[in-house]
Amino acid sequence: MTKNNNIDIYLSKEDLSNIFLELLPQLKNKELNFISQLNINDDLSKKNLNQVTILDEDSLKNFINKKSILNNYIFILGNKNQDIDEYLNENFINYEYFEPPVSFLKLLARCDNLLTEIHNSQSEIIKLKHLSYSFNLNTIYTSNSSLYLTDKENEIFQFLIKNDGITISRKQLLSKVWSYSENIDTHTLETHIYTLRKKIKKKLGLTNLILHEDDGYRVNVQI
């Protein structure tokens, strides 16, 4: 994963575009890629998105309709939409809403903080041959996709990947991740790992990243 401080902004709604254009003279120090009135005939699948993208609802729907891959973190300008939520959650896309009235200055400050978090995490990334993993960002990256992990999934994956391909027993995982402080059984652990493996396969296209052994689990460090 390479460092990229650019922010993509796609605004189809004229009122939002005009508000943003009025702010542009104050934003000369920022690396912004602003596209107004997004053309729905564009081949969005070929666009090289940066790590942070801002879209209004119409622009986001254009991306979804074109089945374009959104691998980065997105900010949605508009009210929460259940259909959009279902699509983004199903495809494990990281997102936040900024509901009206929109303050672009506050939004861009949030983007700056997020990019700083991403940049600061670079030195802590664990790399295999074809993927990278950041515990601080709860994220596994490949060259063309990324997957955000829940906190429990993140703890499980970190413990597995830091053991360099050694098989970790169920007892060790239960002790490490849950510390036996809850009424957790093996079935709960296996459910978490089953869900994690399913997400990895769907979003990253990797079927054997987490291997299931007779005596536990391990990460396939050859990937």
Q: Does residue 132 sit in the same domain as residue 214?
A: yes
Within-domain flag for 201: yes
Q: Does residue 129 sit in the same domain as residue 196?
A: yes
- Are 192 and 156 contacting, i.e. CB atoms less than 8 angstroms apart? yes
Q: Does residue 103 sit in the same domain as residue 17?
A: yes
Helices (H) and strands (E) in the chain, counts: 7, 11
Q: Does residue 99 sit in the same domain as residue 167?
A: no
Q: Does residue 146 sit in the same domain as residue 174?
A: yes
Asked, as a colleague might, if the bond just before 25 is cis with ω within 30 of 0, I would say no
Q: Which residues have a Cβ under 8 Å from the Cβ of 24 and sit 6 or more positions away?
A: 34
Tokens found for residue 122: 């670079």
Q: Which residues have a Cβ under 8 Å from the Cβ of 158 and sit 6 or more positions away?
A: 133, 135
Q: Of 82, 99, 120, at which residue does a domain stop?
A: 120
Strands 126-127 and 132-134: antiparallel
Q: Of 120, 139, 160, at which residue does a domain stop?
A: 120
Q: Which residues partner with 213 through β-bridges?
A: 216
Q: Of 59, 88, 120, at which residue does a domain stop?
A: 120
Domain count, the chain: 2
From the CB of residue 122, how many other CB atoms can be counted at a distance below 10 Å? 12
Q: Does residue 161 sit in the same domain as residue 82?
A: no
Within-domain flag for 1: no
What pLDDT is stored for residue 31 in this prediction? 80
Tokens found for residue 171: 């007892």
C-alpha 210/C-alpha 157 separation (Å) is 9
Within-domain flag for 44: yes
Backbone angles phi, psi at 163, to 5 degrees: -100, 15
- Are 123 and 137 contacting, i.e. CB atoms less than 8 angstroms apart? no
Within-domain flag for 2: no
Q: Does residue 184 sit in the same domain as residue 168?
A: yes
What pLDDT is stored for residue 43 in this prediction? 46
Q: Does residue 94 sit in the same domain as residue 21?
A: yes
What pLDDT is stored for residue 48 in this prediction? 45
Give the CATH number of the domain where residue 17 resides: 3.40.50
What pLDDT is stored for residue 158 in this prediction? 92
Query: Can you spell out the DSSP letters for 89-136?
Result: HHTT-EEEEEPSSP-HHHHHHHHHHHHHHHHHTGGG-EE-SS-EEETT
Spell out, as residue ranges, where the chain has pLDDT lower than 70. 1-5, 37-50, 67-71, 118-123, 180-185
Domain containing residue 102 = 7-120
Give the CATH number of the domain where residue 197 resides: 1.10.10.10
What pLDDT is stored for residue 61 in this prediction? 87
Q: Does residue 115 sit in the same domain as residue 138?
A: no
